[in-house]
């Protein structure tokens, strides 16, 4: 987990993301379309993304990028106080 210094809450890492190029989909410019690929590791618990969660894509800071992910997909769950604020706001 990494820490968001502004709010002191941690991010849960979902997966690394690798850039791939499609062999079948071609864009308007005639070039293959890129897409991002990632897979949750086997053996990890199920990931539940609740309403109000923040999903973010962070670039990898690794200097040894040979085969490593270019980005990391992470989620930050809302705190209980944020959830209660949303309920009060919805009630109005």
Output 73 or 43, whichever has higher pLDDT: 73
Q: What is the pLDDT, as a whole number, of residue 65?
A: 66
The answer to whether 54 touches 80, Cβ cutoff 8 Å, is no
Is 91 a residue whose pLDDT tops 80? no
- pLDDT tens per residue, range 9-56: 688 888 888 888 888 888 888 888 888 888 887 766 777 888 888 999
pLDDT band at 7 (very low <50, low <70, confident <90, very high): low
> Residue 88: its pLDDT value, please?
46
Domain boundaries, the chain: 2-91
Q: Residue 89: phi, psi to the nearest 5?
A: -65, -35
CA distances to 15, 75, 78, 79, 80 from 83, in Å: 25, 16, 6, 6, 5
DSSP 32-72: EEEEEE--PPTTSPPP---TT-EEEEEE---S--TTS-SEE
């Amino acid at each position: 987990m990494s820490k968001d210094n502004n709010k002191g809450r941690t991010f849960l890492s979902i997966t690394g993301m690798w850039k791939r190029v499609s062999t079948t989909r071609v864009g308007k410019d005639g070039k293959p379309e890129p897409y991002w690929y990632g897979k949750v590791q086997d053996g990890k618990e199920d990931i539940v993304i609740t309403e109000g969660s923040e999903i973010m894509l962070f670039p990898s800071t690794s200097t040894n990028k040979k085969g490593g992910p270019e980005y990391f997909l992470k989620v930050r769950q809302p705190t209980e106080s944020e959830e209660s604020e949303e309920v009060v706001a919805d009630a109005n």
